[in-house]
Amino acid sequence: MEPIRSLEEPLEEPVRHPYTGRILLFRLGCFLLFLALAARLFWLQILEGDLYRVKADDNRFRQLAISAPRGVMYDRNGLLLIRNRPSYAVSVIPADLPSDPKPVIQRLSHLLEMSTEDIEHRLQPAPKGERTTDDFSPVSIKNDVQVKLALTIEERSLELPGVHIEVKSRREYPDGQITSHLLGYVSRVSKEQYDKLKDDRTHKYSANDDVGQTGLEATQESWLRGIPGQRQLVVNASGQEVAQLSQIDAEPGKNLRLTIDLALQREIISILDKHMKDYKSATAIAMDPRNGQVLAMVTLPTYDNNLFSQGISQEQFDQLVKDDARPLVNHAISDVYPPGSVFKVIVASGALQDGVVTRYTQAFCPGYIIVPHWLDPNIGTKLPCWAPHGTQDLISGLANSCDVYFYYLGGGPPRGEWEGLGVDRINKWARAFGLGQPTGIDLPAEASGNVPDDAWKRKTFKEPWYKGDTYNLSIGQGFVTVTPLQMLNVITVIANGGALYRPQLVLDVEDASGKVVRPFQPDVIRKVPVSPEYLGYVAQGMRAGMLVNTHTPEGTSYVGTSYTAEIPEVPMAGKTGTAEYGEPDEKGKMKTHGWFAAFAPYGNPEIAVLVFVQNGGATDASERVEDIMRYYFRLPQQPEDTRVKPNTAVH
């Protein structure tokens, strides 16, 4: 054994490895790297786990909306006015597009004959593009494509990842131009509309939906739109369906049965269209005076609402917009005109109720009145009547449409022998009959018209109301304006004895099985505060307007302004109106609009009809009403060459 060394001998120095520092740094780096990976895993799996789990599920699971069939409309006799036609639409789900979508967009551009820029703009999120949905919602590219093209796209699905074919329903309007102003049309929801509708939890609108834009399609949107269903799917990496997990069926929209009689609507179109070369526009409305049901509403010229539902071209749209006759406008409710002598029924009713005149009050008509100047009574302004009528009372004054008699009722005799209604009371009675405010019909864009008074004139023209203004107002001229529907409403009040009904177009609402879920209810706006006896006198004067060479029991004579439109088999009561407008020509004559409103049978009315012709006369309007009444009561039409013509223009 070796001897033990002395404890005092020094130990040998340890040998230091040359790479020890680098090894320590490497170990530290590995530690930090694994620490970072652990932190990232903690972030992804713990803190952001729910978010990425949803994203992963979105790539695998899809929830697709099932469109609900939109409700259709029928006329009062069950004839179909709107139908839904199945069609194919091309859409793209942005999340399913490849990382470089240009080849797909180019192939789609070639197949759809669309520019790549247009497709890219549709796929770009707002505000730069059109898309307002997320990446997993389908974006509509083109609607109503041909079946052959839809099948081609489906066959080439591997070359077109993210491109899908959807089956949609398209609105069709079988009678197009005949009912377009009533029914309106649907088209894709605008961004502004979608912003208002997107929070509707019942109807669940999407940015690709069609909504009603005009007419009943717009006002009855909440009834017509159904409740969308939902499908939950499993998809592959290309976005193609692999399996269906669940489905909630869509609930169809409600169907509407309208008050419109389609056969009557078609006939009125035919009646007016024969004479449209003579007018700028023409409007005809038929209503049941017993309940406010609108039987027909026609305005010409018209347009085909199928153009908008199926996609109108810019050229077609520009042509409609630039047309001077404005075919897109429903002149029955959205345009206002001076009512002319039809307004006299309001003045007569108010004058009787306020005790200004009685049924027997007489006035002499020499063919004019002279209104003294308010500063110098020795000078004055001559206001003409359309003819000298001699001694008149209320009945003959209405029958002859005597302006002088109604000057007296409205403004009083020029020399002040007795007081007329005056502007304030005329205004009061016009508003009581529904003028100056919308009728409340279930259509959009209804105009209010204007019933003027002193305050309105001072505000509008910065000048006071003169007595001459009252005389003009008394015969429906000057500043007063109305819609044709408002004036027909006035006539229905005379016909039914005082009830002002809200005009209605929807007879009832039915579910998909035909069960009525909302029946028709007449809606009385108010009872006009005129005695039924006095309204009866006004109706009597309107009836006298249909007769010729007749005397009242008091001996005043009249030749009814609408005697040429009388139908012997059906007694009518009617009132003409000729409204002057514009500037006088070189002969001092002004252009006119023609009005005629009537109800029948007199004594037990079941229909009231009004015709308005722009750039026409009262005789034109009365002849068209006669034609409509003959059709309604199943009587033969009057041949044009045998029709009696009045000797002079009538008012």
Task: List, in sequence order, every residue forming a beta bridge with 527; answer none if it has no partner.
Answer: 499
Look at 294 and 167; give whichever has higher pLDDT.
294
Q: What is the average per-residue pLDDT within 471-497?
A: 97
**pLDDT confidence bin for 648, thresholds 50/70/90:** low
How many residues in total does the chain contain?
A: 651
Q: What is the DSSP string of 339-388?
A: -GGGGHHHHHHHHHHTTS--TT--EEESSEEEEE-SS-TTSEEEEE-SS-
Q: What is the average per-residue pLDDT within 584-613?
A: 92
Q: Which of 508, 525, 526 is nearest to 517 (CA)?
A: 508
| Domains identified in the chain and CATH numbers | 53-82+173-254 (3.90.1310.10), 86-168 (3.30.1390.30), 264-303+333-642 (3.40.710.10)
In whole angstroms, what is the distance from residue 282 CA to residue 269 CA?
A: 10
| pLDDT 10s digits, 217-233 | 999 999 999 999 888 87
In whole angstroms, what is the distance from residue 590 CA to residue 588 CA?
A: 7
Structure token pair of residue 414: 């020029």
Count CA atoms closer than 13 A to 621's CA, side-chain side.
Answer: 37
Q: Which of 258-262, 310-314, 564-568 has the lowest mean pLDDT?
A: 310-314
The predicted structure's pLDDT at residue 58: 56
Instruction: Calculate Rg over the CA atoms of the chain.
Output: 38
**pLDDT confidence bin for 462, thresholds 50/70/90:** very high
| pLDDT 10s digits, 379-390 | 888 999 999 999
Range 552-590 burial, b when 16+ CB lie within 10 A, else e: beeebebbbbbbbbbbeeeebbbbbbbbeeeeeeeeeee
